Chain A
Amino acid sequence: MIRFPKAATAAAGCLMLAIALPAAGQQTAAELATQECSACHVLYPPSFLPPQSWQRITSTLDQHFGEDASLPEDQAAKIRDYLVAHASSRFPTMSVDQAPLRISELSWFKGEHRRLFERARNDPAIGSISNCGGCHRMDGYYEK
C-alpha cells in the first residue's frame, strides 16, 4: 500500500482550503444580478423589459429612481449582459433613449393592476406597487 506522509497530506489539505475559500466567491451572472438587484427590491424578471431598457437602467445606476445604486463597472456590465440576454424581444426597433424605465408604466402592467396602485401605496405591509412580493408569490409563477 502506498502511504502518503501525514505531514504532506495535512499541508495539501491546508493549501486546498486556502484555495477553496476565495473560489467560493465566484458567482454566476444570474447570482450576481439576484444579489445586487434584490438588495433593495425583488429581482424584476428580465423579460418584462426590452434590452434597450436594461441598457439604460444599468448605465445610470448612480441615479436609480432617486437613489444612488452605483456598482463597479465590471459588475454592472456583468449584470447588464445577463439582463439583456434574457430581455423581451417585443420592441426590436425602439431606441435606447425611448426605452421605458419603469415596468409599472407599461400598458399591460397598468391594465393588470388598475386599482391596485393606490391600494399598494396605502397598505404599510406592501408600501409600493414595485413591491411585487407584497401580493404575489415570487416563485416564477406570480400567483396572487
Chain B
Amino acid sequence: MKRKPILPLVLGLICTGTLAAWAASGPRQEILSHYANQAGVALSAERGRAFFLASQTGGNPDTPSCSSCHTANPKNAGRTRVGKVIEPMAVSRTPARFTDAAKVEKWFGRNCNTVLGRECSSQEKGDILAYFSSL
C-alpha cells in the first residue's frame, strides 16, 4: 500500500488551528484585560452602568452624558447629533463591537473629550466595556 503523505495534513491543521485560535482568542477579552491591568482593579459592569448614565460637566453641554446619543439603554440604537443611527453598544446586539483596540481607543478619545472635556481613565473605559459586554 502506498503511504499517504502525512505532512500536508499536519501543516494544514497547524495553519487552520493558528488562524482559528487567532480569531477566537478574544480580541475583546484582550482589550478588557488591557484596561483592567492598566487600572489595577477588577472591572465592574455596575460602575460602568453608573458612569454611562451619569450627567457630566466639563464637556459640550449639548451632550452631557454617554446616553445623550446612545440612549439610556445600550441595547437600543442611538443617534448622532445630526440624526444618523448609531448601532447598539450592547455586545449582544452588535457582536462586532470592541474587537479592534485602535477603534475603541479612537472613540473613547473623542467621546470622553466631547462629553467630559477630558480623557477617560483606564478604569472608566474598562468598566464601560464590561457593562456593554454584560448586556
A residues bordering B, Cβ < 8 Å?
A: 6-7, 9-11, 13-14, 17, 38, 40-42, 62, 65-71, 126-128, 130-131, 133-134
Looking at the complex, which of B8-16, B26-34, B36-44 is the stretch in contact with chain A?
A: B8-16
Point out the residue from A10, A11, A40, A70 that lies within 8 Å of B82, measured CB to CB: A40
Q: Is the interface of A mostly helix, strand, loop or mixed?
A: loop
Known: A6-B5, A10-B11, A11-B11. A66 touches B82 (CB 8 A): no
Contacts of A128 in B (CB 8 A): 81-83
13 contacts between A and B (CB under 8 A): A7-B11, A10-B12, A10-B15, A40-B81, A41-B80, A42-B84, A62-B113, A68-B113, A68-B114, A70-B106, A70-B109, A127-B83, A128-B82
Contact B5 A7 (CB under 8 A): yes
Q: How many of chain B's residues have a CB under 8 angstroms from any CB in A?
A: 22
B133 smallest CB distance to A (angstroms): 21
B107 closest partner in A (C-beta): A39
Q: How far is the CA of A41 from the CA of B5 in the complex (A)?
A: 56
Q: How far is the CA of A128 from the CA of B80 in the complex (A)?
A: 10
Contacts of B109 in A (CB 8 A): 68, 70
Q: How far is the CA of A17 from the CA of B11 in the complex (A)?
A: 14
Q: Is the interface of B mostly helix, strand, loop or mixed?
A: helix
Contacts of A133 in B (CB 8 A): 84
Q: How far is the CA of A66 from the CA of B106 in the complex (A)?
A: 17
Q: How far is the CA of A135 from the CA of B109 in the complex (A)?
A: 32
Q: How far is the CA of A17 from the CA of B15 in the complex (A)?
A: 10
Contact B15 A131 (CB under 8 A): no
Contacts of B79 in A (CB 8 A): 127
Q: How far is the CA of A41 from the CA of B110 in the complex (A)?
A: 15
B96: interface (CB < 8 Å): no
Contact A126 B83 (CB under 8 A): yes
Contacts of B122 in A (CB 8 A): none
- Chain B 78-112 residues near chain A, CB threshold 8 A: 79-84, 106, 109-111
